[in-house]
Amino acid sequence: MRRLLAAERVRFGHRRDLWLVMILVPVVIGVIYLNDFNRTVQGIHGILNFDFGGTPDPDFVAQLQAQVRQESLAELPAFAFPASLLRIATMPIGIILLALYVSIALVAGEFEWGTVRTIHLSANRAAVLAVRIGLVTGLVAVALGAGLLIVTVLPLLLLSIDGTPLQQYAVAIPDLAPALGLRLLMILPFISIPILISVISRSTGLAFLLTVLLFVGDLAVTGTPIWRDSPVPWVPATTISGSISRLLGNETSALAAVAPGWYSVVALVTWSVLPVLAAIALFRRQDLNE
């Protein structure tokens, strides 16, 4: 196993494209966070500095501005630590795209380069693919961790509004660890499914195409109205997109009315584990000389 890990580190070290995306994704996360914060602050200032025209009653204006300021500032706790972690970890599109790219590049790429013939013939195939899957998951986790570190440092040390440190608006998140764990679970299907498709297709381009089509199909299945009056109305809550919507939504949502939350948790675990097991089983039986 150590030999396989060492080989993976060497191969990763020569992949400049992977190093580039690993650096860019956390930076993009930080930029998106800052843009959202600046847009929120500008919106607050725009409301508070609104020109009422004429000569309005000063007391009325002061009362209105105080009310608006109180309502507007209620948006700021979401940018302060630790709520900033949940804000970024909730459907991080950059991390999902990274997961798709790294999964396909590191698995399908082996077939296209022909290195799969020499690398895997002398080693246990299941172990080789398991190590590769672990590497992909680790890279995605490192990128997400770097992004979370950025949105931890920014509100703690750098950001303020009207001279008041942003962190003064922070609120406690009682279930922070479970909430972050749930959001990490939501990312795993975007690793496991591209890996399975890569093993099946043996082509980077085809794997990207099939992966995109599969997730588009998943959205279509979730959104189709036929489930409402069917014997299985809970099906949309067990697709990938439906599970994520169910777990991130409130208890008054349409999906909450047809399925409890644990349905979606079990579905996400299944979408995360079964494709990996299927990929390993298929890889062990493939003719690598084709």
| pLDDT at residue 121 tops 60 | no
- pLDDT score recorded for residue 3: 63
- pLDDT score recorded for residue 278: 96
Query: Which residues make Cβ contacts (< 8 Å) with residue 186, sequence separation at least 6?
Result: 91, 243, 244, 247, 268
| pLDDT at residue 16 tops 90 | no
pLDDT tens figures, 148-173: 999 999 998 888 877 888 888 888 88
Q: Which residues pair with 165 in a beta bridge?
A: 160
**Separation between Cα atoms, residue 237 and residue 262, nearest integer Å:** 10
* C-alpha to C-alpha distances, 263 to 170, 220, 277, nearest whole angstrom: 33, 19, 21
Pick 4 or 277 by higher pLDDT. 277
pTM: 0.85
Beta strands in 141-284 (DSSP E): 160-161, 164-165
Local confidence band at 255 (pLDDT 50, 70, 90 cut-offs): confident
- Give me the mean pLDDT over the 257-286 stretch: 93
| pLDDT at residue 58 tops 80 | no
pLDDT tens figures, 21-43: 889 999 999 999 999 888 888 87
* C-alpha to C-alpha distances, 84 to 20, 92, 113, 272, nearest whole angstrom: 25, 12, 41, 26
- pLDDT score recorded for residue 49: 63
* Contact predicate 104/204, CB 8 Å: yes
